[in-house]
Structure 1
Amino acid sequence: MKLKIMIMALVTVLVLSVAPNASAYEDNVKAPERVYKVKTDDQTSLDAEQQKMIVAVQPYVSVSKDGLLSLNNVPNSLYEKYSLDQLEGHFAQLNNDVKNGKITIEKDLSITPLTLSTSVNYAKWTYNWWGYDRKFNNQASKSYQNWLYSAAGGGAIVGGLFFWVPPVASIGAVSAGYWSLLAVRIGAKNKGKGVYVGVTWVAAFRVDTLK
């Protein structure tokens, strides 16, 4: 109990300390515009700003005959505005998975895992050219929140790292305050139904309540 109180106190301090930069990590509270629909059957989607970013970048994304992703002829202003060096890092990871026979990438930018899962949306992070997303049921949402609090409090985060954290390269540079904000957001959005979590190449998370 004392440990939990200490962790919650630390989370409060961290959240307050990063409040001026919270907009860089938190999603908009208002309902997102469906500018770019991530999947045709999604109950949720990324927020309006993230969708705007994806729509602006997508015309410059292409797939080679070998099924590898690349950026082509991107204006310098757009490259810098949306940190596309980080997107290229994400592409490098995806292309490596293609070469290792883990996934295939189609011309329409859809990505298909080549390993079978009995509940893909809940069992693992789903691949997208822009990042990853996943649905957590109620119990998994609580477990994820506890893991994030432990990470924010400096606990051992190696165990289960790849299960809880999507392999977006830019996430490696985030602070403890980032995990705190995400944990708080998951707690607020999990209303006993579970949550949807989406994360783009710039490590910007979107959390929403499952319906």
Structure 2
Amino acid sequence: MKKTVSKLSVLTLAGTIATTAISPSITAFAHENIEDSKSNISVNYNEPGMVSKKDFEEMKREVYKFLVLNEDGTIGISEKMPRSLAYEYDLNSLQKHFDYLNSMVKSGEISINSDFSINQPQARGGVNKVVNYWWGASEWYSYSTARHNAKIASQYSNALVGTSILIGAFSKIGGIAVGLGSVYWSTLATNMNYVNDGNGQRGIVIDMNWAGIYSIYSQ
């Protein structure tokens, strides 16, 4: 009998990525493996890793239904959120992200619209572009920046650089995933290089949610 696989199936690519064919997006590679090997995947949303862009969007849609915009312009989670989903979606981490956003709302750095989109200034701090969202952040890197940041991630996984250097390179993503361990960052570096080296040097985008689940694709 086949095991039932959650719609939030997490594929952690901890091994060597096949490179027999060049792909513009590792998210497509990840999705193919999720679909082809459902019978032997052990899933746990609380083990951060990479998912397909389709599954990443579905996570956001599920949680979006339980967001609330408070009278003071801050964002929160509805009391109607089922307890079972609170665990499945790791909402403790989401609340930490909301605390970060709400502090910027109160200081006047950003404002949150009724559809939970964010009005914000252009990013700064050593990356090409950082965009904050209610669910996490997108970081856009040129080809050369992606290569540099992948190297930093690899060095961090081997304890060759410290936290400040990692966050300096990855900005918001670094803050979300800094404590997720050496295997996580080594795998992220491998995934970044796989997409970055196979897309005609167009650069990459990393979408990362509140719990460190991410999707990587070409600009």
TM-score range, shorter chain: 0.7 to 0.9
Contact kept in structure 2, 1:197 and 1:205, CA below 8 Å: yes
Q: Pick one of 195, 203, 206 that aligns with 2:212.
A: 203
Contact kept in structure 2, 1:132 and 1:199, CA below 8 Å: yes
SS, match of residue 86 in structure 1:
helix
Q: Percent identity?
A: 20
State the 1:77 CA deviation: 1.1
Q: Which residue of 2 aligns with 1:194?
A: 203
Aligned CA RMSD, in angstroms, stands at 2.6
Q: Deviations over 1:40-73 (max 9, x none)?
A: xxxxx96222222111110110111221000012
Contact kept in structure 2, 1:62 and 1:70, CA below 8 Å: yes
Contact kept in structure 1, 2:195 and 2:217, CA below 8 Å: yes
Q: Which residue of 1 aligns with 2:144?
A: 139
Taking a change above 3 Å as real, the CA distance of residues 145 and 172 of structure 1, as seen in their structure-2 partners, is closer
2-structure distance, mates of 1:96, 1:162: 21
Q: Pick one of 148, 153, 168 that aligns with 1:148.
A: 153
Q: 1:155 corresponds to which letter in structure 2?
A: L
Taking a change above 3 Å as real, the CA distance of residues 61 and 128 of structure 1, as seen in their structure-2 partners, is same
Contact kept in structure 2, 1:111 and 1:127, CA below 8 Å: yes
Taking a change above 3 Å as real, the CA distance of residues 116 and 179 of structure 1, as seen in their structure-2 partners, is closer
Q: Pick one of 29, 47, 64 that aligns with 2:70.
A: 64
Taking a change above 3 Å as real, the CA distance of residues 50 and 206 of structure 1, as seen in their structure-2 partners, is same
The answer to whether 1:81 aligns with 2:88 is yes
Q: Deviations over 1:72-91 (max 9, x none)?
A: 12011111111111111110
Contact kept in structure 2, 1:195 and 1:208, CA below 8 Å: yes
Equivalent residues, number: 173
Q: Which residue of 2 aligns with 1:40?
A: none
The answer to whether 1:123 aligns with 2:137 is no
Q: Which residue of 1 aligns with 2:11?
A: 23
Contact kept in structure 2, 1:148 and 1:183, CA below 8 Å: yes
Contact kept in structure 2, 1:137 and 1:194, CA below 8 Å: yes
Q: Deviations over 1:149-200 (max 9, x none)?
A: 1111102231361441425765233011111111000110013111111000
In terms of fraction of residues, the more helix-rich structure is: 1
Q: Pick one of 169, 173, 186 that aligns with 2:179.
A: 173
The unaligned stretches of length 5 or more in structure 2 are: 1-9, 15-26, 33-50
The unaligned stretches of length 5 or more in structure 1 are: 1-21, 32-44
Q: 2:103 corresponds to which letter in structure 1?
A: N
Taking a change above 3 Å as real, the CA distance of residues 56 and 130 of structure 1, as seen in their structure-2 partners, is same
The answer to whether 1:104 aligns with 2:111 is yes
1-structure distance, mates of 2:13, 2:115: 29
